[in-house]
Structures are given as C-alpha cells and as structure tokens.
C-alpha cells in the first residue's frame, strides 16, 4: 500500500460479546475501499491514551502497510461495559472480539493480535480458545500464568510489581467507574507519589492506598491472597504446547516477564515451528538504549534496531510473512549480546552448542570451575527482615521504569548479609548466553525463610553490574539441616571480557521487589511480626554449591 495513503480513524465502535456486554474499540483503517487483515490489540489501560494504545507500535504505519488496526478497551475498563475480572475474562472475551473483528466489512476474515504486557496476555488467552479467524499473534513481554513472574517468583510475592501496577494502572479507573473522581480517586493518585513509603507497609492486606473504596479493596485482596481455583483459571501455560498458531515473542533481558516470554516461545514451538523470539537489552515496556547505569548503543534501541529498522517495521514484516507467506524474513531467534553489545541471530533457544558449566563455591569467596577438594566448608550471614537488602536494578517493574536494569552493585556487595563468590580475573573473554541457575546447599535456624542469588559482571575498575537474579521461598524447612535448593535466574546473554570477573551474590532478600520473608512461617501480607534468621551456605565435596552457567564455546580457528 502507498505509504502516503489516507487513514480513517473511528472512535468507540461497539463489539457485542456473547453475554450481551458491549466493548468499545478505536479503529484505524485505510481510506481506500477494500478488505484487509485486522490487527487487534486489547488493553485495560485506555485505548484513547497514546502511551498505551500506540505504545511501541505505530498504528498509522500499520494501516499504510495494508492492515486495519483495532484497539479495544477490555471488559470493565474505561469505555467498555462489564466488571473487570483480570486474566480470567480474556479467554472468552478474546474469542468473541477476534470473531467480531474478522466479520467487520473491511476485514478479509483474517485477524492477528499484537500488544505488550497485559495486552500480550490477552493474545495468549484468546489463542487458547482457538477462534477461527485468528491467524497469528505478536505477544511482547508477557506471560501465560500468574504464579511465576506476575504475582510470584519462586514462591515470593512480587510486592513492588503488583503494588505499582495496581496503584498506577488499575485503581484509578475502578474508582472512577464506581464513584467518579472523588476523594478516593485523588487518594490513590496521590499515593503513587509516595510509593517508596507504601512498599514498607504491613500487613499488606490492610494496605491503606487500597482501602479508598470497598470495591477497590476487594479487588486488591483477590490478588494478594489468591484462591487456588482462581489461580488455576488464570493459567493457560499447560495449553500452549497444543496451539498451532504462529507467534513473534519479544522480550528484554531486564524485563519482569523474561522467564514467561521464553517459556511461551519454547512451549508454543512444540506444535508450531513458526515461532520467533527477539530479546533486547530492555526493561518492561522500555526499548531505550540507556537502562539503569548502562548504555548499550543506539543500535540496541527499539526505534533503531541495528540502525536498520524499528519495532513497527518488525511487526509489519512479521504479519506480512504470516498473511502473504513469502520466504521467512525474520530469523527464528534474535538476541542482543551484552558486553560486546551486538545483535546476533540463532536457530533455536536454548542454543544447542551451549556448554553448561558449573562454577563452584570455594573458600575465601572464590568461584571456580574446578570441583572442590576440601570435604566441607560453610559461610554464614544474618538475615534481618527489618533491614532487607534493597532492590538495586534488575528485571523489575517500578513506576515509570525507575530502579531497573543493570545498576552498580558495589554497595550491595559490601553488606554483611550478602555473600559474594568471585572468579579470578578472567584471562580470556567468556560468553554466557542461555538459562542459568544457582544450585546451593543451605540451612537456616528457622523453619521458613528465603534465599536469593544474582549473577554479576565485575569490571576491571571494581565496578559491578547485575545481569540476572532469582529467589526461592522455603517453607517448611528442617532447622539447621543442609538442604539442596535450585534458584532459577532465568536467562541472560553477556560477554565477560578478559580482565573482568564473574561474581555470584547470595542473600535472603531483595526488597521491595519481593516481600520480605518474616522467617515465622507467616508472610508480610498477613503479619507485622518478624524474627532474624541465621543462614548457612555450604560448599565442598560433600555439599558442592555452584552456579550453572551457559557458556558459549569459543569459535573454531580456521
């Protein structure tokens, strides 16, 4: 289509669902007569706000590329009717919305979906229902369940993520719909300005910013004290391997949904090989080249990938591949390798040539690839829930993207409640690309507690930056008894240059990213009480603790 052709925009077109509820959409379409594929995005964040309706993809360019674009408010949000029941509602509503879009007079019967975060979920959930008109999806930075990556990670509650999302993105419209912009509305908007204070409040189930109205508080408690049946209804992960639909998955090394994005790709690739995966050095919804304390180059930006194309271009190429079936233009896997700061294509994920290498904990804080020679050794630290390790970057979701990405970890490493194990200075470059985990022997003098682990790149000047991390909640434990645990650190891609060092951080908190375990068997959600815990990390031949790193083999010499 001519890139200068006119675009018509229609506001608040009604879509009637099977139960009679009306959802409203804004439609962008070619002025020229004809029938075109529809690209549908379903959002709870207000289709009329460019920050959320357009986000990282330009609907006008999509239209000029030969598509109709439909952006819809989901049930119970902004212009649309009904009561908002997040995630659970999106399966049937997604099916109905896709079939409605496919029947529009200017649609040729083919529908695809796109969108980020919650409106990535709406794609996955609709796809599970298999609407006949849905031919492809492009979910970015999203998941398919709530228990590992949205509400919880390794059993710990994603405190900052949830409270930020709830207060900034969800609560205002709930109050506005029920009571208008009264004192309650102003109360939640003002609370956003004091989020750092409110993260510390406990018990969380009585969180004052959530008590502006009863409806708001009920919604809040649905998430912080979820019932098992509701969690099961909110998960579709087990169905992904059955889906025969092409999908282009987009993620970021510092995105709070990185693990879920990769999981979606891997599971869906089991039944449909037309799966694409792209991972950049990005945070959640943030495609800028500067994140945290690192700058990855303008070619890493979502606006100038490889200085050749932007994310809208990629979507156009993807949907044209799906609908016009030319030779595949997008490689199966595209990853940004940090350190060397270069894009690279791969045939699969995880990468088959990976050499998974354990780096063992040794005495004097050393991290080495040789198996320990001593029989047993250990290190201890005291974990105080009232003085937790502060969140300093990572794959977080804070207001406006603050406190995310790679940040200087020197202050964290200096804390007495953080154990550090570091390799000797590297004598050659080492590339780590793929999934990673910490396998540790631990004990505690408490029956319930947490352990955390983080992979760190130490620069020649001593400055250190975080690459990946994870947490595990243990309840119950047998007190003072060694136990082997695995902490999933998700994945990364980074070259540790010659002169750098690889470091592992071990601790028991990362607050307010996760709620602090009070070591009592209860939680910060329910209780204000806490007690200190004495934690032990074991290593040696009897209790070999290590971090398993996905090492890329060195290129063969000609």
DSSP of 415-483, one letter per residue? Answer: STT-EEEEPPPPSS-EEEEEEEEEEEEEEESSSSEEEEEEEEEEPTTS-EEEEEEEEEEE-S--TT--E
Beta-carbon count within 10 A of 44 CB: 24
- Which of helix, strand or coil describes residue 272? coil
Q: What is the pLDDT of residue 558?
A: 43
Residue 325 has pLDDT above 80, yes or no: no
Active-site position among 25, 53, 97, 117: 117
Q: Do 528 and 473 contact (CB within 8 A), yes or no?
A: no
- What are the pLDDT digits (tens) for 201-234? 999 999 999 998 889 999 999 999 888 888 888 8
DSSP designation for 169 = I
Mean per-residue pLDDT, 41-45: 97
Active site residue 117: yes
Mean per-residue pLDDT, 495-500: 98
Beta-carbon count within 10 A of 479 CB: 11
> Three-state SS string across 331-362, please?
CCEEEEEECCCEEEEECCCCCCCCEEEEEEEE
Active site residue 255: yes
Mean per-residue pLDDT, 525-537: 97
Beta-carbon count within 10 A of 342 CB: 15
Residue 363 has pLDDT above 80, yes or no: yes
Q: What is the pLDDT of residue 231?
A: 86
pLDDT band at 327 (very low <50, low <70, confident <90, very high): low
φ and ψ at 175, to 5 degrees? -70, -45
Tell which residue, 120, 117, 548, has the closest CA to residue 369: 548
Active-site position among 145, 284, 317, 505: 284
Distance CA 367, CA 500 (A): 13
Q: Do 487 and 470 contact (CB within 8 A), yes or no?
A: yes
- At CB < 8 A and 24+ separation, what contacts does 179-184 make? 179/213, 183/212, 184/212, 184/213, 184/216
Active-site position among 255, 286, 321, 469: 255
Q: What is the pLDDT of residue 123?
A: 98
- Which of helix, strand or coil describes residue 548? strand
Mean per-residue pLDDT, 164-185: 88
- Those residues with Cβ within 8 angstroms of residue 388's Cβ, 6 or more apart along the chain or in another chain: 509, 510, 511, 516
DSSP designation for 166 = I
- What are the pLDDT digits (tens) for 267-314? 999 998 899 999 999 999 999 999 999 999 999 999 999 999 999 999
- Those residues with Cβ within 8 angstroms of residue 414's Cβ, 6 or more apart along the chain or in another chain: none
- Which of helix, strand or coil describes residue 328? coil
Greatest mean pLDDT among 325-329, 426-430, 553-557 lies in: 426-430
């Amino acid at each position: 289509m001519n890139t200068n052709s006119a675009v018509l925009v229609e506001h608040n077109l009604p879509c009637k669902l099977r139960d009679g509820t009306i959802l409203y959409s804004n439609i962008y379409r070619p002025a020229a007569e004809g029938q075109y594929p529809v690209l549908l995005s379903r959002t709870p964040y207000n289709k009329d706000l460019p920050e959320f309706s357009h986000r990282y993809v330009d609907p006008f360019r999509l239209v000029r590329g030969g598509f109709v674009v439909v952006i819809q408010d989901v049930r119970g949000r902004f212009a649309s009717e009904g009561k908002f029941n997040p995630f659970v509602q999106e399966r049937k509503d997604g099916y109905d919305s896709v079939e409605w879009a496919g029947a529009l007079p200017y649609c040729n019967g083919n529908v695809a979906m796109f969108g980020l975060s919650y409106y990535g979920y709406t794609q996955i959930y609709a796809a599970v229902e298999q609407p006949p008109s849905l031919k492809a999806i492009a979910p970015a930075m999203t998941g398919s369940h709530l228990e590992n990556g949205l509400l919880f990670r390794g059993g710990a509650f994603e405190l900052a993520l949830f409270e930020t999302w709830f207060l900034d993105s969800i609560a205002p419209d709930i109050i506005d719909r029920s009571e208008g912009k009264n004192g309650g509305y102003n109360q939640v908007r003002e609370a956003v300005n004091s989020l750092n204070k409110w993260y510390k409040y406990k018990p969380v189930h009585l969180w004052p910013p959530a008590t502006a109205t009863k409806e708001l508080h009920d919604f809040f408690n649905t998430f912080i004290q979820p019932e098992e049946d509701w969690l099961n209804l909110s998960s579709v992960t087990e169905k992904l391997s059955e889906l025969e639909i092409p999908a282009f998955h987009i993620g970021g090394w510092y995105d709070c949904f990185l693990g879920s994005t990769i999981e979606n790709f891997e599971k869906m690739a089991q039944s449909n090989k037309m799966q694409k995966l792209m991972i950049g050095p990005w945070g959640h919804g943030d495609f800028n080249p500067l994140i945290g304390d690192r700058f990855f180059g303008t070619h890493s930006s979502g606006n100038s990938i490889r200085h050749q194309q932007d994310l809208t271009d990629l979507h156009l190429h993807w949907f044209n591949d799906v609908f016009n079936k030319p030779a595949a233009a997008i490689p199966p896997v595209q990853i940004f390798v940090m350190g060397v700061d270069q894009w690279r294509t791969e045939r699969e994920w995880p990468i088959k040539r990976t050499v998974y290498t354990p780096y063992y904990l040794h005495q004097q804080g050393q991290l080495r690839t040789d198996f320990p020679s001593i029989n047993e050794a250990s290190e201890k630290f005291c974990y105080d829930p009232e003085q937790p390790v502060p969140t300093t970057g990572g794959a977080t979701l804070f207001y406006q993207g603050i406190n995310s990405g790679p940040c200087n970890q020197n202050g964290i490493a200096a804390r007495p409640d953080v154990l550090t194990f570091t390799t000797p200075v590297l004598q050659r470059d080492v590339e780590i690309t793929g999934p990673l985990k910490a396998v540790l022997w631990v004990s505690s003098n408490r029956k319930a507690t947490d352990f955390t682990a983080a992979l760190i790149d130490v620069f020649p000047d001593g400055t250190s930056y975080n690459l990946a991390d994870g947490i595990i909640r243990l309840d119950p434990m047998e007190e003072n008894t060694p136990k082997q645990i695995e902490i999933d650190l998700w994945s990364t891609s980074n070259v540790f240059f010659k002169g750098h060092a690889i470091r592992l951080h071990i601790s028991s908190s990362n607050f307010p990213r996760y709620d602090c375990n009070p070591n009592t068997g209860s939680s910060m959600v329910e209780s204000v009480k806490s007690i200190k815990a004495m934690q032990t990390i074991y290593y040696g031949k009897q209790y070999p603790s290590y971090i398993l790193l996905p090492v890329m083999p060195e290129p063969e010499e000609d």
